[in-house]
Structure 1
Amino acid sequence: MIKNRIVYTSMAILLLLFGVMVAVLPNLGIETKNTEYSYETLVFNKSKVTTVDIEIPQEDWEDMLENAADEELKQGNITINGKTIENVAIRTKGNLSLRSVVNSDSDRYSLKVDFDYYDDNQSLYGLKKLNLNNNYSDSTLMREYISYELMEKMGLPTPAHSYMYVTVNGEERGLYLGVEAVDETFLANNYGSNDGFLFKPDGTGSDLKYISDNIADYTGIGLKTNEDNIEDSKLTEMLDAINNGGDIEQYIDVDEMLRYFAVNTALVNLDSYQGNMKHNYYLYENNGVFSIIPWDYNMSFGGFGAGGGGMGGGNLNQMRGNTDKELPEGETEKNAETPAIKQPQGGQPNGDQPPEGQSNTEQPQEDQSNGDQTQEGQPNANRNKGNFDMGGGMSSNLMADSAINFSITTPVSGTTLEERPLLNALLSNETYRAKYESYLEQLATTYLTEDYIQSITNNLAMLLTSYEEADPTKFYTTEQFLEGVAGDNSLPEFAKQRSTSILKQLSGELVVETSATAQNNMGMPNGDTNNEGNGNQMQMPDDFDPSQLPEDFDPSQLPEDFDPSQMPEGGMGNEQGGGDKGGPMQRPDGNGGPNQGNGQATQEATIDKSTVLTATASFSFLVAALLFVFRFNRRGR
């Protein structure tokens, strides 16, 4: 009797332990990926436009708009597709784009929502932070979305993303792109662990040149996680290897980085490590091996200016204002590589040749207002909203030769390969270069094709057009938006010509030569040609830090010379896109509008390896324990 009681008690304890292990262990930093109830499908549902309603004290909201450059956190509530999270932190976000909007007649700021700022245990279906991007400088509203889609297709860990329609205190703010933050949650979801070191380089050291073995010398390396254990990082060893000829496979995920640079090059995304700004990427060190994470693609598809990748708006001294940031000792303007096209078999390359001899000087503007007011002294909250050309829109320069025929052999702009040692170390190796070229060929024949990109833009146009029309704060007109969908000056046309150029460069039919000559005329975003009256080009030094820009910086604007293209075949009918184009937009919150119904994206439920191992170990332990109890019980008899 006593023995049976012991046996049954032991079995009950074992079952209880098994239940605890199954319930608790998956929450100890190990998260499932792409399950039916994860934020990746419930929040970032690509088949519909997510509804985001923000509630914030009106005085706080007005203060945020009037002092947007301060990026001060405000407390509020947020409801996403009917799910309300209270006490979240909200602020404006951005760098150069934020300052540009501050100094414009718009108050359409990108926003960052922090669900766990006031409560560490709070999240939205596991999501801790959400970025609401305002699609600055992108009249198509699609560059960043499509870029992330291609990164995903090439197997790269990519932030979740989808379109969201935002209101604040019941007032419509418009159509934004929601993007998952790269944080501990993202790392656990994509790497099975968030115990490593996450870096967001921007400033000294972001070119990944070797300075010393003292990590403190890399002041712009931007460590985001695990700060207390930084001495355990292999960062300086990795930098030594890529700069001085070490075994780079010991320190970096070579294949992943080759895929990343292939996509970045194909998309001519130069507001990145490959341009003179050397930023907009993450590095994640997991067990001493570094991976690269894509970030910020509103300037892809040649939007940053492939002729040098500059931002319009004045010379460098004016941009820096009164900051104390200086060029490193002995460093002058960086040499850049100017593309020159050769046609070994005759013929002209695609696109128009950019004009020569643009000036890089600018007369200072008089009586500039501060970043919080218009020239009439009215606060941002009272500015006129509406169409507003930020530069970088879909002008005729989308088809600029400098973007279409951007070099795949020396894929940098405003700098040299030697100044970008990570890329240089990869492309200097014949085996790695061959693999990089194979990924470019895959992109040019499979994903960055006219048909594939056209299918995306058509679907997005049907999904977004009614929302874009109703957007009260949008930067561009509906005609400019539709211009990017189809036609001679669209994203599919860019893909067609760019992929053709890539294949010709791979075959040797097209040779893009580069020369180490100074780039005195840095192109404006997506506008390095045909800018009459815009002689105010500038040169960015290699160590330029955008965070040092003065608040009163106001970039030059491109002229409105857009020629809207025809809508895609089949139109954007209401039965597909939803909404009444002649009246107020119907919102997708159960009260009518596009894509009613749950619209739940169908995704295969998968679980990461760590969770599988945990469950397997727990089950094995239970089986072994039950066998032991069974044998003990038989002996007792």
Structure 2
Amino acid sequence: MLKTRYVVASIGLLIVIFVAVMFFLPNFQIDKATKGNTYIESVFDQSKVTNVEITVADEDLASILENPSQKEIVNADVTIDGETVKNVGFRTKGNLSLNSVVQMEDSDRYSWKIDFDHYQEDQDLHGLKKLALNNNYSDPTYMREYLSYTLMEKMGIATPGHSYMYVTINGKEWGLYLGVEAIEETFLDTNFSDGTGDLYYPDGTGSDLKWISDDIDDYTGINLKTNDNSDQSAMIKMLDVINHGGDLEEVLNVDEMLRYFAANTALVNLDHYQGMLKHNYYLYEENGIFSILPWDYNMSFGGFSGGGGGGPNGNKETEKGQDAENSDAKPKLPDAAPNINGGAPVGDMSANFMGESTINFSITDPVMGTTLEDRPLLNALLSNEEYREKYYQYLNDIATDYFSEENMTAMTEEITSLITPYVEKDPTKFYTMDEYIEATSGEETLVDFSTQRADSILAQLSGDLVVEAETQNGMGGPPNMGGDENGAAMQPPNMGDGENGAAMQPPNMGDGENGAAMQPPNMGDGENGAAMQPPNMGDGENGAAMEPPGMKGKMDAQGGGTSNYSKETIILSSVLVLLLFGAITFAHYFKRRGRNG
């Protein structure tokens, strides 16, 4: 017979273990098996160009090429750097770029999508379920999308894996593509603490996020991509708050969205929510909090600016009191897609990316072909003074760090060194080799765009440059932000003027020594000129982008608190509670038996 003191000691030990586990559990993530995915390192190795070999039945390939717009899915085998996955789904992808290539008589350079799990639900490649192969349409540098995703990573935004890939189909070289991880369940599981929330890809009615009604069926363009049985009540609540007022932090990962929109504005990425087409972004809801996710950046760096002398939103610039020049240029869709190896294409949307109005795209009214009031998500954020100040600070960080000439030169030279041999042998490229060389090392490069854009951002922050946006209602500046009597865009609050007209640093930023660009608060210097981490973000291991608020780690959706318990944590806690309850019941029963004996 066990002695009572042993039973009491055992129960006491169980209680101590229970309390200890419950106290420390929030600091340890219990990863599901799928969280051990290694595809970021193995599939998206950015130190090299990955070989992708696709094998498909000749008749299936012919069917795709005859009717590419139908996005017919066919069975294929895919070999990536020597590792083969059989029986995968293969199809064309895209909208504008797809239709543009369809119009071309001499090119089949479509973007492609590979679904490793289309025919076999449990099939993947090191955890990767879906892979997009983007054709670098309208980008003679091959770099716009890559550099944009890199900036998003540096800003702490959940960003899909991406790297350069050289594609062959049935032994025929198709050329240099950018491989991008599809945003779906695997991406969510890899990047967020839970990963089982509602994912949306807005495109169509309701994608501007304007209030229609409290019936989710009226938002036909919201496009729920996961959890088919969700009542989407969190979406309705979010739409209500951003349109009608309320606590944004109850429905939005505010700081993450400010970083996202600062990066998107700096990049002048207007084939997006901030443009007239109001698409190319994802929304992800977890525990009632929405994050925004980046997608499709081949027309960033002013690539959607169209032609002519005007800018992407018909901005008027006034500098130090000078008269503004009117510009009514509107973004143009290409009248003809780029001609394969045929010189600068007619209607090429990237051709005017260095236009004055593109470089000086407004940071206070950062929309094109619409108004802030018609983009309520961005409007709600910029109408709040505290949030607007943070947004300006993030823009300053980008201008003084990521867009610095030293940083951009180093990155573009590294990429050029990597991809140039593959561009040379690319048989389907949209631009000639001379045009590629001119775009990457000529008089107007992405480095030139970035440095001039950085100067413009700093000038707008200081007040030396005022940009009036000619929007639908003719108002300058976000609502409730004020403005001058002529409707000019309002100056960022409390920014003041820099000495001698120099671009001023945001509040509490200080001056760098000898006129050098000052470091933002708590930012530190990246090693060897590497891009710095955003404030209070910390450094990822080996220079990897650190985990943003609300993602897997120890930060919640608001950025800084303890993470929400995952389902695994809840299950384990429940088991521990049951064990403790059982132990107490046993002790009570044992004690009664002892008395009765």
Normalising by the residue count of structure 2, what TM-score does the alignment of the two structures yield?
Answer: 0.72
The C-alpha deviation readout for 1:104-129, integer Å capped at 9, x for no partner, is 02110000000001111000000000
Query: Partners of 1:223 and 1:308 in 2: how far apart?
Result: 38
Kindly report which structure 2 residues correspond to 1:344-383, keeping only aligned pairs within 5 A, or say none.
Answer: 344=320
Aligned partner of 1:227 in structure 2 is 228
User: Which stretch of structure 1 is more off in the superposition, 604-613 or 200-209?
Assistant: 604-613
Query: Partners of 1:173 and 1:497 in 2: how far apart?
Result: 35
Find the residue that maps to 2:414 and give its secondary structure.
Answer: helix
Query: Partners of 1:76 and 1:82 in 2: how far apart?
Result: 15
Residue 602 of structure 1: how far off its partner (Å): 8.5
- Asked if the contact 1:94–1:110 (Cα under 8 Å) also holds between the matched residues in 2, the reply is yes
Query: Partners of 2:195 and 2:405 in 1: how far apart?
Result: 38
Aligned partner of 2:12 in structure 1 is none
Aligned partner of 1:142 in structure 2 is 143
Residue 398 of structure 1: how far off its partner (Å): 2.3
Residue 268 of structure 1: how far off its partner (Å): 0.3
Residue 79 of structure 1: how far off its partner (Å): 0.5
Query: Partners of 1:188 and 1:100 in 2: how far apart?
Result: 34
- Asked if the contact 1:268–1:301 (Cα under 8 Å) also holds between the matched residues in 2, the reply is yes
Query: Partners of 1:26 and 1:247 in 2: how far apart?
Result: 32
- Asked if the contact 1:242–1:422 (Cα under 8 Å) also holds between the matched residues in 2, the reply is yes
Kindly report which structure 2 residues correspond to 1:329-348, keeping only aligned pairs within 5 A, or say none.
Answer: 338-344=314-320
Letter in 2 for 1:342: T
Find the residue that maps to 1:495 and give its secondary structure.
Answer: helix
Partner residue of 1:441 out of 385, 396, 400: 396
Query: Partners of 2:277 and 2:331 in 1: how far apart?
Result: 21
Query: Partners of 2:392 and 2:405 in 1: how far apart?
Result: 20
Residue 448 of structure 1: how far off its partner (Å): 1.6
Query: Partners of 2:566 and 2:279 in 1: how far apart?
Result: 34
Aligned partner of 2:240 in structure 1 is 240
Kindly report which structure 2 residues correspond to 1:552-567, keeping only aligned pairs within 5 A, or say none.
Answer: none
Matched, 1:500 2:455: yes
Aligned partner of 2:133 in structure 1 is 132
Residue 158 of structure 1: how far off its partner (Å): 0.5
Q: Give the direction of change, closer, same or farther, for the CA distance of 1:128–1:256 in structure 2 (3 Å limit).
A: same
RMSD: 4.0
Aligned partner of 1:40 in structure 2 is 40
Query: Partners of 1:309 and 1:201 in 2: how far apart?
Result: 31
Residue 395 of structure 1: how far off its partner (Å): 6.6
By relative contact order (CA 8 Å, sep 6+), the higher-ranking structure is 1
Find the residue that maps to 2:441 and give its secondary structure.
Answer: coil
Aligned partner of 1:398 in structure 2 is 353
Residue 518 of structure 1: how far off its partner (Å): 8.8
Query: Partners of 2:283 and 2:545 in 1: how far apart?
Result: 28
Find the residue that maps to 1:485 and give its secondary structure.
Answer: helix
Residue 450 of structure 1: how far off its partner (Å): 1.8
Residue 516 of structure 1: how far off its partner (Å): 3.5
- Asked if the contact 2:307–2:349 (Cα under 8 Å) also holds between the matched residues in 1, the reply is no
Identity of aligned residues (%): 54
Query: Partners of 1:280 and 1:361 in 2: how far apart?
Result: 16
Residue 82 of structure 1: how far off its partner (Å): 1.1
Aligned partner of 1:266 in structure 2 is 266
Aligned partner of 2:100 in structure 1 is 100
Residue 359 of structure 1: how far off its partner (Å): 13
Q: Which runs of 5+ in 2 are unaligned?
A: 2-28, 475-541, 555-564, 588-597
Residue 210 of structure 1: how far off its partner (Å): 0.4
Letter in 2 for 1:508: G
Aligned partner of 1:201 in structure 2 is 202
Letter in 2 for 1:165: Y
- Asked if the contact 1:505–1:512 (Cα under 8 Å) also holds between the matched residues in 2, the reply is yes
The C-alpha deviation readout for 1:581-629, integer Å capped at 9, x for no partner, is xxxxxxxxxxxxxxxxxxxx996999856799869969x97xx99xx9x
Aligned partner of 1:10 in structure 2 is none
Residue 488 of structure 1: how far off its partner (Å): 2.3
The C-alpha deviation readout for 1:445-469, integer Å capped at 9, x for no partner, is 0112222111111001100000000
Query: Partners of 1:131 and 1:483 in 2: how far apart?
Result: 28
- Asked if the contact 1:128–1:185 (Cα under 8 Å) also holds between the matched residues in 2, the reply is yes
The C-alpha deviation readout for 1:312-334, integer Å capped at 9, x for no partner, is xxxxxxxxxxxxxxxxxxxxxxx
Matched, 1:420 2:375: yes
Q: Give the direction of change, closer, same or farther, for the CA distance of 1:82–1:360 in structure 2 (3 Å limit).
A: closer
Query: Partners of 1:115 and 1:167 in 2: how far apart?
Result: 17
Residue 493 of structure 1: how far off its partner (Å): 0.4
- Asked if the contact 2:304–2:331 (Cα under 8 Å) also holds between the matched residues in 1, the reply is no
- Asked if the contact 1:486–1:492 (Cα under 8 Å) also holds between the matched residues in 2, the reply is no
Query: Partners of 1:240 and 1:396 in 2: how far apart?
Result: 40
Letter in 2 for 1:212: S
Matched, 1:284 2:239: no
Aligned partner of 1:153 in structure 2 is 154
- Asked if the contact 1:307–1:413 (Cα under 8 Å) also holds between the matched residues in 2, the reply is no
Aligned partner of 1:82 in structure 2 is 82
Partner residue of 1:512 out of 455, 458, 467: 467
Query: Partners of 2:286 and 2:333 in 1: how far apart?
Result: 46
Aligned partner of 1:49 in structure 2 is 49
Q: Which runs of 5+ in 1 are unaligned?
A: 2-24, 312-335, 366-370, 372-383, 520-600, 633-637
The C-alpha deviation readout for 1:430-450, integer Å capped at 9, x for no partner, is 111101000000000011222
Residue 94 of structure 1: how far off its partner (Å): 0.7
- Asked if the contact 1:52–1:165 (Cα under 8 Å) also holds between the matched residues in 2, the reply is yes
Q: Name the count of aligned residue pairs.
A: 478
- Asked if the contact 1:137–1:392 (Cα under 8 Å) also holds between the matched residues in 2, the reply is no
Aligned partner of 1:109 in structure 2 is 110
Query: Partners of 1:244 and 1:192 in 2: how far apart?
Result: 30
